[in-house]
Amino acid sequence: DAKTTQPPSMDCAEGRAANLPCNHSTISGNEYVYWYRQIHSQGPQYIIHGLKNNETNEMASLIITEDRKSSTLILPHATLRDTAVYYCILYNQGGKLIFGQGTELSVKP
């Protein structure tokens, strides 16, 4: 199964852009990249997803490299409420979404 690799933790200053990297070198051609976040022990929250092109919504931007082996989630102006664990996930056609360990993002004043 395709898996993702993320740094275990990152810090970001409030008001600055947070750039969260994800490696997925074994991604299959038709797999989407999804990003979720989990604040404390709440249920994970969907952020954004993409296949090949860069995507943007009201929460974040997703940049996927041309070879699709890595991606970056960008929170343009991080706030304290963005402190959470961020998961980069590949959709598996077998119906199994594989969550990695995620990146614990700390936004500091």
Partner 1 sequence: EAQVTQNPRYLITVTGKKLTVTCSQNMNHEYMSWYRQDPGLGLRQIYYSMNVEVTDKGDVPEGYKVSRKEKRNFPLILESPSPNQTSLYFCASSLSKGRASPLHFGNGTRLTVT
Cβ closest to partner 1, residue 81 vs residue 96: 96
DSSP states of 25-91: TT--TTPPEEEEEE-TTSPPEEEEEESSS-EE-SS-EEEE-TTSSEEEEEETT--GGG-EEEEEEE-
- Which region among 16-24, 66-74, 75-83, 100-108 touches partner 1 (by CB under 8 A)? 100-108
Smallest distance from the beta carbon of 7 to partner 1, in angstroms?
A: 15
Q: How far apart, in whole angstroms, are the C-alpha atoms of residue 59 and residue 34?
A: 13
Per CB under 8 A, the list member of 102, 103, 105, 107 interacting with partner 1 is: 102
Determine, following the binding rule CB under 8 A, whether residue 99 of this chain makes contact with partner 1: yes
* Residue 80 C-beta: closest distance to partner 1, Å: 21
Near partner 1 in 17-46, by CB under 8 A: 30-32, 34, 36, 41-46
Q: What is the Cα 81 distance to its own chain's centre?
A: 16
Which sign does the torsion angle of CA 51, 56, 10, 103 carry?
A: negative
Give contact residues for partner 1 (rule: CB under 8 A): 30-32, 34, 36, 41-46, 49, 51, 87, 91, 95-102
